[in-house]
Amino acid sequence: MTPIQIGAFIIAGLFAGVLAGLLGIGGGTVLVPILITLGYSPIQAVATSSLSIIITSLSGSIQNWRMGYLDFKRVLLLGLPAVITAQIGVLVASALPQSLLLLAFALLLMLNIYLVGVRKKLAKQSASGELVGPPQAAMNPTAARILTGGIAGFLAGLLGIGGGVIMVPLQMLLLGETIKRSIQTSLGVIVLTAIASTFGHALQGNVVWVGGIILGLGGLIGAQLSTRLLPKLPDQVVSILFRTLLAVLIVYTLWQAWQQTAAT
């Protein structure tokens, strides 16, 4: 890897970390398009994003553990099915045409916009003491955890994301967890899904190891900087920035998918 490439990875990691801390966007949402821009194939971008997510999610989970906020039992109950389905996601990603993989990523970005709105609504209900989860006819907790972890793991392997955007609202809806508990558990599960996804992609030869480590370390630094800036920004400004960025990423990813289709 040349000094120019290393510099590009450092800048990309910092940029992704700043956006993650500032807008609450998971690293994979930003890193996959960045890696494609740097000239890597969609499958390499997905695999390398998973590697960088290990670093950032592990750092956050260690901090939660030190503060006594990490429940290992909850993490394992969600994480075990996620580890299995992550391998399925890896196999599907490796088999899909690159254009379809990019299209699936663009659809996830669109879903992101909706799910963030759902998450905010659930957070307000949780803060006001309203019942967030379903009443007595709730889904069996074991089945709910398998479903939640399974979806998150599959998406981690398929698209190189952590899966928190899916896990947080599902934990609140299906298990009646609070927003804070859901986020803390989700971050711990992401460590497992990212490791499982990276392992699966490594067996396929898709991971750019040095690049992924640089991106992860850069993301750590960038997130620390942006989390200090976030409290100073009005909520409306953050919301506009978030939706604008996702819209740009959706258009860019769809354009890349069209380019891949035209090339084949």
pLDDT in tens, 211-247: 999 999 988 888 777 767 766 777 677 778 777 888 8
Q: Which two tokens stand for residue 212?
A: 């992924």
DSSP assignment of 25-63:
--HHHHHHHHHHHTT--HHHHHHHHHHHHHHHHHHHHHH
Domain assignments of the chain as residue spans, ordered by start: 3-263
- Asked whether 19 and 223 are in contact (CB, 8 A), the reply is no
- Record the pTM: 0.85
- Asked whether 13 and 225 are in contact (CB, 8 A), the reply is no
- Over 60: is that where the pLDDT of 24 sits? no
Q: What is the mean pLDDT of the chain?
A: 85
State residue 136's pLDDT score.
Answer: 47
DSSP assignment of 125-185:
HHHHT---S--TTPPPHHHHHHHHHHHHHHHHHHH----HHHHHHHHHHHH---HHHHHHH
